[in-house]
Amino acid sequence: MFSFLNGKKDNDEPGAGSPAEPQAAPPAAAPHAPDTPFHPPDAWNVDALTTPHPIQAGTAPQMGPTDSARTAEFQQKVIDVIKTVYDPEIPVDIYELGLIYEILVDADCRALVRMTLTSPACPSAQQLPQEVRYKVKAIPGITEAWVEIVWEPMWTKDRMSEAAKLSLGFF
């Protein structure tokens, strides 16, 4: 029974014909990575997605002085990856929602994103900042990334882009 799970036919299993015979436990499946046709480009910093954050809670990011040239160089790239982060309860990306307040990059290509949440009780308060951090850190050239949650100014619907308001029917 359920032979499709182990790739054998029912009649190929030892002891399948006689229920009185004890059946040996199936061999443990060897762990393996699934074969997939997708392979990330070499330019992607995939390790950045799995590397634990070196900063412990309550400590400030190790940013140097903001470099306006580096900020200008990376700002659009950061915006582009942030636009792939969606609030799970709202079908609009967090950039269009107006949750991103500031993007800064220092001379060593360390990025700081200051953002807010729609409310202090946001159920995605853990997920959204982590997703932003990992995606920003994976940008080629960015050496480290931090996300700082700020509550001033408080987020309101007025911070949303016209496109976000239109898609949510706020007109």
Q: Residue ranges of the chain with pLDDT lower than 50?
A: 29-31, 55-58
Q: Sheet harboring 110-115: ordered strands across?
A: 100-105, 110-115, 144-149
| Residue 31 is assigned to a structural domain of this protein | no
Q: Tell me: the pLDDT tens digits for 24-72? A: 555 554 445 556 677 767 776 666 555 555 544 445 568 888 889 999 9
| Residue 131 is assigned to a structural domain of this protein | yes
| Residue 33 is assigned to a structural domain of this protein | no
Structure tokens at 65: 């002085």
Give the CATH number for residue 115: 3.30.300.130
If DSSP codes are grouped into helix, strand and coil, which group holds residue 39? coil
| Residue 77 is assigned to a structural domain of this protein | yes
Say what the pLDDT of residue 6 is.
54
Please give the model's pTM, rounded to 2 decimal places.
Answer: 0.64
Residue 149: φ, ψ to 5°: -85, 125
CB 142 within 8 A of CB 109: yes
Say what the pLDDT of residue 123 is.
86
| Residue 144 is assigned to a structural domain of this protein | yes
| Residue 4 is assigned to a structural domain of this protein | no
Say what the pLDDT of residue 57 is.
47
- Number of domains present in the structure of the chain: 1
How many Cα atoms within 13 Å fall on the side-chain side of residue 23? 13
Domain that holds residue 127: 65-168
| Segment (H or E) for 105 | strand 100-105
Whose tokens are 């392979």? That residue is 39
- How many other CB atoms are there within 10 angstroms of residue 135's CB atom? 21
| Residue 113 is assigned to a structural domain of this protein | yes
